[in-house]
Amino acid sequence: MSETTQIGSDALLARRSGARRERVRLVAMALGPVFGAIVMSGLVLLALGVDPIAYYGYVVDRGLINPYGLQATLTRMGPLLLIAAGLIVAFRAGIWNLGGDGQFLLSAVVVAALGPLMVPYFPVWMVLLIGLLVGAMVGAVWSLLPALLKAYQGVNEIITTLMMTFLGVSFANVLVKLFFRDPATTVPQTRTLVVADRLPRLFDTTVSSGLLIGLVAIMAVHLLMTRTAFGLKLRIVGANPRAAIHAGLNVPLLTMATFAISAALAGLAGAVEIMGVQGNVRADWNPAYSLTVVPLVFLARFNGFASIAFVFLFSVLSIGGESAARRTGVPNFFTLVVVAILLIMLGITEYLDQRRRAAGK
């Protein structure tokens, strides 16, 4: 073997070794915070006098092993995947769309009010299609003001999208209690879309076909951002806006498009939740899915396929946690405590990784 061939072989082995180490690092960065959050949450449960093994046992049993619990878990994934897809688009483009909860809830309320009104005049498939389109449009429209301020005035979108979330949640409650209220009920809520007119179930289960919509959306977003010229443009804008301008990209227009796609997916999630699961919206209802999905998307490193796995794990925790809370006497919002600890662990992991990289240089 010649010296040149040996050098080339050594370089190839070095690249492969480096690629393996990078994959191991990414897996550790993704799973480390999850295991850390489980352990820390277990310590919190111990401090509350609850057996963490029993709690997590109920979570796994009711959210994964039990057939009805598993079907509820898969149904819960539908809107969460759509929200995750919207966040991936925004974050990869360097935009912090934190207004997903407002976009989700406002779209849900409008679709919940519109659906029962359309049923007497249109076939079910058309009602569902119109509902999905309206939900996406409402979400996109609610992001218009933050998009314009970001694109043409450079206003920080974190502030504007959070403000629009508060406004959207409040406005949605006003609509439910006043304009869209079902006069036939004593509790403030919209009219109910009957089960027969909702999204069809998958096979002979209770799993809503919203799961398929969510899976298709997040895989399409992944391919869009990694395999198309438009996705490359958005990633360039997110990586370096100045370089994007010098490259001749229309940054304001791309910013507007990013907001529209991200918010439309959040609005579509609201429509899927109503037409696939809830059927109506009650006053003061706000599941706050969007801010909960943010750490899941970061753990997945903005990868669509990895996001599916993390959304599934969170859905198991969410559905199983409801049963575990009843059986162990833990408050229902303990799942949010786990998510908060997960955020802290994610921040610590990122900090340690940055320190390691700095020391390596």
Task: List, in sequence order, the alpha helices (H) in the chain.
Answer: 3-47, 52-60, 67-92, 100-118, 124-142, 144-148, 157-174, 210-227, 229-239, 241-246, 251-273, 289-299, 304-328, 334-360
> Which pLDDT belongs to residue 361?
55
When pLDDT is averaged across residues 137-164 and rounded to a whole number, the result is 95
Give the range with max mean pLDDT: 56-65, 197-206, 214-223, 298-307: 214-223
The model's confidence at residue 67, banded by pLDDT at 50, 70 and 90, is: very high
Domain presence at residue 351: yes
What CATH number should be reported for the domain holding residue 150?
Answer: 1.10.3470
Q: How many domains does the chain have?
A: 1
Domain presence at residue 1: no
Domain presence at residue 7: no
What is the residue type of 84? A
Q: Mean pLDDT of all residues in the chain?
A: 90
Domain presence at residue 306: yes
Domain presence at residue 18: no
End-to-end CA distance of the chain: 34
Domain presence at residue 267: yes
Domain presence at residue 329: yes
What pTM did the predictor assign?
0.91
Contact (Cβ atoms closer than 8 angstroms) between residue 271 and residue 113: no
Residues 6+ apart with CB under 8 A from 26: 301
Domain presence at residue 288: yes
pLDDT at 7 exceeding the cut of 60:
no
The model's confidence at residue 203, banded by pLDDT at 50, 70 and 90, is: confident
pLDDT at 146 exceeding the cut of 70:
yes
Range of the domain at 85: 32-45+53-360
